[in-house]
Amino acid sequence: LKNARSSGKLRLQKWYTATAERDKKKMVRELMQIVLARKPKMCSFLEWRDLKIVYKRYASLYFCCAIEEQDNELITLEVIHRFVELLDKYFGSVCELDIIFNFEKAYFILDEFLMGGEIQDTSKKSVLKAIEQADLLQEEDESPRSVLEEMGLA
Amino acid sequence: MPAPIRLRELIRTIRTARTQAEEREMIQKECAAIRSSFREEDNTYRCRNVAKLLYMHMLGYPAHFGQLECLKLIASQKFTDKRIGYLGAMLLLDERQDVHLLMTNCIKNDLNHSTQYVQGLALCTLGCMGSSEMCRDLAGEVEKLLKTSNSYLRKKAALCAVHVIRKVPELMEMFLPATKNLLSEKNHGVLHTSVVLLTEMCERSPDMLAHFRKLVPQLVRILKNLIMSGYSPEHDVSGISDPFLQVRILRLLRILGKGDDDSSEAMNDILAQVATNTETSKNVGNAILYETVLTIMDIKSESGLRVLAINILGRFLLNNDKNIRYVALTSLLKTVQTDHNAVQRHRSTIVDCLKDLDVSIKRRAMELSFALVNGNNIRGMMKELLYFLDSCDPEFKADCASGVFLAAEKYAPSKRWHIDTIMRVLTTAGSYVRDDSVPNLIQLITNSVEMHAYTVQRLYKALLDDISQQPLVQVASWCIGEYGDLLISGQCEEEEPIQVTEDEVLDVLEGLLVSNLSSPVTRGYSLTAIMKLSTRFSSVNRIKKVVSIYGSSIDVELQQRAVEYNALFKKYDHMRPALLERMPIMEKTASNGPTEIVQTNGEAEPSVVEPKHPPPVGQPASQGNDLLDLLGGNDVPVIPTTMPTKPASAGGELLDLLGDLSLGLSLMAFYLFDLSKTVNFLSIGIPPMTAYNKNGLKIDFTFERANPNPNVAVITIHASNSTEADMTDFVFQAAVPKTFQLQLLSPSSNVVPALNQGTVTQVIRVLNQQKQQLRMRIKLTYIHKGSAVQDLAEVNNFPPQSWQ
């Protein structure tokens, strides 16, 4: 699972294993407590249940990733960083509000970057280009309608 | 109906809510609006409404009524609808809802859509939340896309295949042909996802693993190119070319090289190259090095490479970055067993990490430190570890204390050092010491015979200072009870003997009894200790008084003991000295873990001694006094007890009862014990028998059934010697017919004292599944009056109850 949150509010969450809604909520609450309690000087890894949690703080947002025993913690930090870079490039100096008001876009980026918990493409350029193109497709959808609306014919 | 408000507006509105209640109200209002909009089957605004629903869902509000709407969006032709629809499906649906299966057809169509971004959406959704049924239905489509030349789709298809395989492992085979030339791709996205796919397949199937081993040279080549090639801006991270791909390849190599000499050899060079050439200034480089180290340690690498790996970890330990240090400690912990000497070289750095501020690092450093303790470094290490114990957080103290005890036991350079270390732990972290350490410590103390005086003196002094730490108090009271005479006599050799009077000692022990700080267990210990001193001190009257006071104590345990001890004073005074005699040295047959439990009586704890009487006893005893009555009925000299030889580890319950463990030499003494166990035993009533009686050596057998298996007969042999000379090096062996199974436990000793002054006991367990008549052949060897004696005998006179 992967989530981004700030001061106790969840902004994004992605689960790659089927989990009951109730359990998800419980786990998120637990994790939030543990991670928010960490002091700034502590290391970015902690053990939780039978998983390892890798977290990194960017301004007011905490990004957390739960990985398995055999996964590489240090590279996970890089994965988190890459995701933040993608957001940053897309939104232009991303801040928390961007993610709040455009959460669906943040999800689109995440889903273009990772699938099933694994990286789809290691090239930043590639991921961003795909998002751009998809956004264009979306605009093509919408523009005819808005023209008609303007004309009062919709 | 006015157009539903836009997503952004809703978000803005909700954020203005000042209280949770206000927010809930807004949400409910909007949900109602959305619901009616859904009911009207409004196509135009469905997308907007679902998006809003997803936002509210993220805030924690229920959104299940939107599930079907997501499906409708997915089925729509508009890309925008599909995008939100699939997102909604991933957030709101999973395999638990039956509804999700309705998606299957849509996904199938979209997998074949003309627009690759739609195909991408479908692949992504399937790859993130597809259920096994969906995967089964759509695997064929995924496989097709895995072979396409469109790298955008190919990379997604690969990861989707990974998910399919995770959900339905049997389908793995069908993806095999498509993997053929995955690695010849230039596109890094495809390469990366392909390596992930190959890794997944190899992890799941040994056949696949064997099949893909031939890819090792190709993987090595790709990795080499990554390292050697110049700057590639697209994949560069802090000067390193595509670290994600590098790490993934290293991991796959690890799996392929494990246990295989040829593959491991083929990758030796590249691993060495990566290990030496990677930039370590940033986290990225270290991430790669970390993965490299993991790989080197797992495959059959040559020793030079392994040393290189451990040195990298050693360097990590000196890194300023906590994360790196943490990762190093974790890896070292994994390798300390196999590459012990190499890790030892970094011992001082590891010990320094004990002082780190981070909790996780401290814990790892502690575990590693204990793993590195050996006979050579014990003194130095223990100093550091004790210092750590003093200053560490409470959550560590129990583990650290246990670790110290274990290490001390294994490597103590001298008995005095050992006792001192134990004392140090008890006084500094006494309240955190585990309960089961107390019996172990007592056993250690009894075994250090020459240190008894020193030990009891130190413990006494510690008690004077502080009686709040229960394990310390328990061990101390036990020792004072046992060795109080040494304390009074001022015999200590190791340090300045203190002058203590009997009254002072009794004051201290009585103080424990009345103190609020003492737990009930501790009180039990002190009462028993006081009782024992009645044979070692002369102030018997004072002791008698104390004991009788507690005969009416509210605490049942205390009361029972006091009553029994009282009875000892009154009716059985002649037995008292024997009963309260000094404990023998206990044999420890196992230090931890499950121990041989002889008489279980259906309970999990090893039971304490139960006296067995040669004459069958029919009456069940119900209270403490009753049992003593039974004993009192015989004028026979104190009946030899048969003690099952039990290892010393076990819960504090054993010690609770008496503060004694019964092991080792059989004593001419009874131990008071938990009567419920006696009752059980007495009701069995299989008569004992004499198995052998020749040349002054008599061997009696007494019986019991072992719970829970009634086919197992537990026989205790009692060997006694009526001649004037001891029989030494006494060994008892037994053999049974083939239909039986025999298990012989350790004997209590191998000296049978002369003139019936004691017996050697040993327990035999016989499994008699076919319920045949029990027969046994025994062989006895011993040395008597300087000459070796050996004898064989058949034992046929087993009472029928013992095998029926």
Kindly provide the ipTM of the predicted complex, given to two decimals.
0.90
Q: What pairs with residue A12 in β-bridges?
A: A4
- Buried-state track B743-753, b at ≥16 Cβ within 10 A, e below 16: eebbbbbbbbb
The per-residue pLDDT for range B606-617, each reduced to its tens digit, is 333 333 333 333
Rounded distance between C-alpha atoms, residue B642 and residue B718, angstroms: 7
Neighbouring C-beta atoms of residue B318, cutoff 10 Å? 12
Least trusted range by pLDDT, from A110-119, B85-94, B154-163, B583-592: B583-592
Rounded distance between C-alpha atoms, residue B18 and residue B23, angstroms: 7
Taking CA atoms, B645 is separated from B94, B587, B598, in Å, by: 59, 9, 8
* Alpha helices (H) in B258-358, listed in sequence order: 261-277, 283-298, 303-317, 322-335, 340-344, 347-352
Asked whether the CA dihedral B705, B709, B712, B714 is positive or negative, the reply is negative
Rounded distance between C-alpha atoms, residue B92 and residue B100, angstroms: 10
Mean pLDDT computed over B333-352: 86
Q: Provide the pLDDT for residue B635.
A: 34
Between A73-91 and A103-113, two packed helices, what is the crossing angle to 10 degrees? 130
Contact B530, B543 (CB under 8 A): yes
Asked whether the CA dihedral B590, B595, B599, B603 is positive or negative, the reply is positive
Q: Using only the alpha carbons of chain A, give its radius of gyration.
A: 18
Q: Among all chains, which residue has been given the structure tokens 């099949």?
A: B211
Rounded distance between C-alpha atoms, residue B503 and residue B596, angstroms: 42
First to last CA, chain B: 90
* pLDDT over 60 at B135, yes or no: yes
Q: How many residues does chain B have?
A: 804
Q: Provide the pLDDT for residue B664.
A: 24
Contact B323 A125 (CB under 8 A): no
Between B116-129 and B132-146, two packed helices, what is the crossing angle to 10 degrees? 140
Give the whole-number percent of chain B exceeding pLDDT 70: 86
Between B378-391 and B359-372, two packed helices, what is the crossing angle to 10 degrees? 150
Q: Token digits for B681?
A: 């035993």
Long-range contacts of B242-245 (CB under 8 A, 24+ apart): B242/A122, B242/B188, B242/B192, B243/A75, B243/A78, B243/B284, B243/B285, B243/B287, B243/B288, B244/A75, B244/A78, B244/A79, B244/A82, B244/A119, B244/A122, B244/B192, B245/A122, B245/B188, B245/B191, B245/B192, B245/B195
From A33's Cα to the closest Cα of chain B, the distance in A is 17
Q: Which of B128, B152, B326 sits opposite A130 (nearest CB)?
A: B152
Contact A121 B155 (CB under 8 A): yes
Whether the predicted model's global pTM rises above the 0.80 cut: no
Rounded distance between C-alpha atoms, residue B772 and residue B526, angstroms: 50
Mean pLDDT computed over B316-332: 90
Max CA separation in chain B (angstroms): 115
Give the whole-number percent of chain B exceeding pLDDT 90: 25
Between A73-91 and B243-257, two packed helices, what is the crossing angle to 10 degrees? 150
DSSP code string of B24-52: HHHHHHHHHHHHHHHHTT-STTHHHHHHH
Q: Token digits for A102?
A: 């455009």
The side-by-side arrangement of strands in the sheet containing A51-58 is A9-14, A2-6, A61-67, A51-58, A45-48
First to last CA, chain A: 42
Q: Which of A43, A121, A134 sits opposite B323 (nearest CB)?
A: A43
Q: Which residues of B touch A141 (CB under 8 A)?
A: 78-81
- Buried-state track A30-49, b at ≥16 Cβ within 10 A, e below 16: ebbeebeebeeebbbbbeee
Q: Provide the pLDDT for residue A148.
A: 57
More confidently predicted of B574 and B677: B574
Q: How many residues does chain A have?
A: 154
Q: Provide the pLDDT for residue B684.
A: 45
Mean pLDDT computed over B664-670: 26
* pLDDT over 70 at B535, yes or no: yes
Q: What is the DSSP letter of B227?
A: H
Closest C-alpha to A105, from B7, B45, B67: B7
Contact B666, B642 (CB under 8 A): yes
Q: Which residues of B touch A13 (CB under 8 A)?
A: 58
Contact B290 A72 (CB under 8 A): yes
The top-scoring range by mean pLDDT among B40-44, B290-294, B344-348, B699-703 is B290-294
Contact A137 B129 (CB under 8 A): no
For residue B50, the chain A residue with the least C-alpha distance is A104
Contact A72 B117 (CB under 8 A): no
From A137's Cα to the closest Cα of chain B, the distance in A is 7
Collapse the DSSP code of B405 into the 3-class scheme (helix H, G, I; strand E, B; otherwise coil) and give the result: helix
Interface test with A, best of B237, B245, B280 (most A CBs within 10 A): B237
Q: What is the DSSP letter of B786?
A: T
Chain-wide mean pLDDT for chain B? 80
Q: Token digits for B148?
A: 């396409």
Element (H, E) at B789: strand B787-795
Contact B713, B774 (CB under 8 A): yes
What phi, psi does A116 have (nearest 5°)?
60, 25
Neighbouring C-beta atoms of residue B331, cutoff 10 Å? 21
The band of A152, judged by pLDDT with boundaries at 50, 70 and 90, is: low
Outline where DSSP puts E strands in chain A.
2-6, 9-14, 45-48, 51-58, 61-67, 114-115, 118-119
Q: Provide the pLDDT for residue B123.
A: 94
From A85's Cα to the closest Cα of chain B, the distance in A is 11
Closest C-alpha to B764, from B799, B729, B735: B735
Contact B162 A100 (CB under 8 A): no
* pLDDT over 90 at B424, yes or no: no
From A134's Cα to the closest Cα of chain B, the distance in A is 6
Least trusted range by pLDDT, from B60-74, B197-211, B560-574, B599-613: B599-613
Mean pLDDT computed over B126-133: 90
The band of B44, judged by pLDDT with boundaries at 50, 70 and 90, is: confident
For residue B163, the chain A residue with the least C-alpha distance is A116
The per-residue pLDDT for range B55-99, each reduced to its tens digit, is 999 888 888 888 889 999 999 989 999 999 999 999 988 777 778
Does residue B88 sit at the A interface (CB-CB below 8 Å)?
no
Rounded distance between C-alpha atoms, residue B325 and residue A76, angstroms: 16
Q: Which of B44, B115, B283 sits opposite A74 (nearest CB)?
A: B283
Residues 586-645 of B with CB under 8 A from A: none
Q: Provide the pLDDT for residue B247.
A: 95
